[in-house]
Amino acid sequence: MPNDRLTFYTNPMSRGRIVRWMLEELGMPYQAVLLDYGTTMKAPEYLAINPMGKVPAIQHGQTVVTEAAAICAYLADAFPQMGLAPAPDDRLRGPYFRWLFFAAGPLEAAASNRAMGFVVPPEREKMMGYGTYAAVMDVLEDAVEQGEYLLGDNFSAADVYVGAHLGFGMQFGTIERRPGFEHYWSRVSARPAAIRAKQIDDDLLPKDATKT
């Protein structure tokens, strides 16, 4: 599989930034295909890749993967030599999946609801997968304060995904600027791959993007 063509479908104003960072961490060659909202993203050619008409998505040989968390997990396993995921028999495999999908589930839902101004009524908290926004923030803050990275001294795809969510969330106000979050983000965002990925996507932004 490492010899198969790796194609990355994205837009610089999307969660594709997460996958771009992951790809830069891998250091493997890939072809980026830029899509526009409402036009090429909804064209039949791309809908054959992702019927949702959303980015990011990747195609690795004949394998198509959508959803940023799934893409990060897939890529880490597809290129094990890069050490971005614990091996299947490693005891850290459990915490790795735990935090990767904690961010894809409870964190994503809680932050999105906050962005929409939706507050879960106390009597409905048991219906929500994340319970309360405060609980999600407390649990995640504790996780990022346990070590250098989510798996202690081992940087992984989980740090790419969680770190990106924290960075975006604090930037746009959907995640509180807690000291633990800021210290963790300062560490992971200083990685050379994170800096390269940000520069690539920033250079692709429309000239008037900062004015909207």
Q: What is the pLDDT of residue 3?
A: 58
Domain annotation covers residue 202: no
CA dihedral over 136, 150, 55, 50, signed as positive or negative = negative
Hey, is 33 helix, strand or coil?
A: strand
Q: At residue 211, does pLDDT exceed 60?
A: no
Q: What is the pLDDT of residue 126?
A: 86
The CA radius of gyration of the chain, in Å to the nearest whole number, is: 17
> What proportion of the chain, given as a percentage, has pLDDT over 90?
88
Co-location of 99 and 182 in the same domain? yes
The four Cα atoms 32, 168, 202, 198 give a dihedral, to 10 degrees, of: -70
Whole-angstrom distance, CA of residue 125 vs CA of residue 121: 7
**Burial classification of residue 187, based on how many CB atoms lie within 10 Å of its CB (0-12 exposed, 13-18 middle, 19 or more buried):** middle
Co-location of 79 and 138 in the same domain? no
Q: What is the pLDDT of residue 127?
A: 87
Range of the domain at 16: 6-83
Co-location of 96 and 185 in the same domain? yes
Q: CA 66 → CA 42, 73, 137, 182, distances in Å?
A: 15, 11, 26, 29
If you average pLDDT over residues 40-52, what whole number do you get? 98
> What proportion of the chain, given as a percentage, has pLDDT over 70?
96
Domain annotation covers residue 119: yes
Co-location of 68 and 98 in the same domain? no
Q: What is the pLDDT of residue 2?
A: 46
Q: Which of 42, 57, 83 is the last residue of a domain?
A: 83
Q: At residue 32, does pLDDT exceed 90?
A: yes
Look up the pTM and report it.
Answer: 0.93
> Total structural domains in the chain?
2
Whole-angstrom distance, CA of residue 51 vs CA of residue 64: 12
Q: At residue 65, does pLDDT exceed 80?
A: yes
Q: At residue 129, does pLDDT exceed 90?
A: no
If you average pLDDT over residues 77-89, what whole number do you get? 97
How does residue 209 score in pLDDT terms, banded at 50, 70 and 90? low
Q: At residue 77, does pLDDT exceed 70?
A: yes
How does residue 136 score in pLDDT terms, banded at 50, 70 and 90? very high
Q: Which DSSP string corresponds to 141-154? A: HHHHTSSSBTBBTB
Domain annotation covers residue 200: no
